[in-house]
């Protein structure tokens, strides 16, 4: 049997785990880098800061990971040290000592990826929120951030299994998004989608259960797509789909960029040498200058 986690009503607070028997889903333990081909999908458990693989087929997907599954950490990650001032001359009989935690802040680290999630979410929220002010100063009236997904056809999904083509395909996704009226924002790559482990049905967002059988156990399968957060007025999606084979979906206005960004980052694609989040269009770094956000408490650990 394999211990997996049922998802609760709140996507950020996991329900207690339960034991189920999935004999056919044999695989390897979390965090291991392997070229094992068994099986061609991912069985996962949900935690407050992302998903943990229970079976991993990295060869099948050219080593695309979820955050926290890079398979390596530094020896000091998660350990504590003390930092302070022991200058007895300046302040006799007194000392200041603070307890700090070693934190590499890398997305791939199985110990410190939680910090990466918080920091990256904060950066996305800050840039989007500050860009609203800039756009209004430019005379824009449609300044409410929207969430859009760009879905490649199956032929392109097969090409994406080789990471060397990723940058070119991501730029093409951005190009088609602009054709549909998306003016600019962030883009996050998702190599996988979730489905019901029992019947293969769709998992309802927020309800965290299968639309068909109401099951709460999930598996992840290869189905690459892109999530965009930014600004624009989406049109002509049907024409784009008929002409190019790509499906663009407008998920509407996002009242909480932070909540949406955090959730998307928990299961985004992580790969050595590739940025998990990039900016394009009017929000590209060369087009809009915005000061970085103040550091969070997590960054000071």
Cβ 145 vs Cβ 228: under 8 Å: no
In the predicted model, is pLDDT for residue 13 greater than 70?
A: no
Beta-carbon contacts of residue 74 (< 8 Å; ≥ 6 apart): 102, 104, 109
Q: pTM here?
A: 0.75
- Residue 265 sits at φ, ψ, to 5 deg, of -70, -25
- The residue-averaged pLDDT of 16-23 equals 32
Q: How confident is the model at residue 71 (pLDDT cuts 50, 70, 90)?
A: low
pLDDT tens string 281-300: 999 999 999 998 887 665 55
Q: Is 65 helix (H, G, I), strand (E, B) or coil?
A: strand
- Euclidean distance between CA atoms 44 and 35, whole angstroms: 18
- Sequence-distant (≥ 6) Cβ neighbours of residue 100 within 8 angstroms: 80, 81, 82, 83, 300, 301
Question: What is the CB-side half-sphere exposure of residue 278 using CA atoms within 13 A?
Answer: 15
Distances from the Cα of 14 to the Cαs of 10, 69, 193, 216, in angstroms?
A: 7, 19, 19, 12
Say how far residue 97 (Cα) sits from the centre of its chain.
36
Mean pLDDT for 216-238 is 92
Better-predicted residue by pLDDT, 136 or 73: 136
| Closest C-alpha among 257, 198, 191 to residue 229 | 257
How many CB atoms within 10 Å of residue 17?
12
Q: What is the spatial distance between Cα 9 and Cα 92, in angstroms, rounded to a whole number?
A: 55
* Residue 70 and residue 64 in contact, taking contact as beta carbons nearer than 8 Å: no
**pLDDT tens digit string along 102-112?**
888 888 888 88
């Amino acid at each position: 049997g394999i211990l997996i986690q049922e998802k609760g009503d709140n996507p950020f607070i996991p329900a207690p785990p339960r034991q189920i028997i999935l004999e056919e889903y044999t695989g390897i333990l979390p965090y291991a880098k392997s070229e094992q081909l068994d099986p061609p999908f991912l069985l996962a458990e949900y935690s407050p800061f992302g998903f943990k693989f229970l079976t991993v087929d990295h060869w099948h997907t050219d080593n695309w990971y979820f955050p926290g599954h890079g398979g390596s950490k530094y020896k000091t990650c998660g350990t504590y040290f003390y930092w302070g001032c022991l200058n007895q001359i300046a302040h006799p009989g007194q000392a200041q000592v603070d307890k700090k935690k070693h934190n590499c802040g890398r997305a791939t680290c199985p110990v410190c990826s939680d910090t990466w999630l918080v920091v990256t979410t904060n950066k996305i929220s800050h840039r989007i929120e500050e860009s609203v002010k800039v756009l209004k100063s430019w005379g824009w009236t449609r300044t409410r951030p929207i969430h859009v997904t760009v879905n490649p056809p199956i032929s392109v999904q097969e090409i994406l299994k080789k990471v060397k083509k990723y940058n070119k395909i991501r730029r093409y996704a951005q190009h088609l998004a602009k054709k549909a009226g998306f003016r600019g924002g962030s883009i996050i790559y998702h190599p996988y989608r979730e489905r019901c482990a029992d019947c293969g049905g769709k998992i309802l967002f927020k309800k965290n259960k299968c639309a068909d059988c109401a099951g709460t156990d999930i598996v992840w399968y290869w189905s690459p797509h892109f999530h965009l957060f930014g600004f624009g007025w989406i049109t002509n999606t049907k024409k784009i789909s008929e002409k190019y084979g790509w499906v663009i979906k407008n998920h509407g206005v996002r009242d909480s960029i932070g909540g949406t960004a955090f959730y998307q980052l928990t299961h985004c694609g992580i790969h050595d040498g590739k940025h998990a989040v990039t900016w394009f269009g009017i929000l590209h770094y060369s087009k809009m200058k915005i000061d970085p956000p103040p550091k969070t408490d997590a960054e000071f650990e």
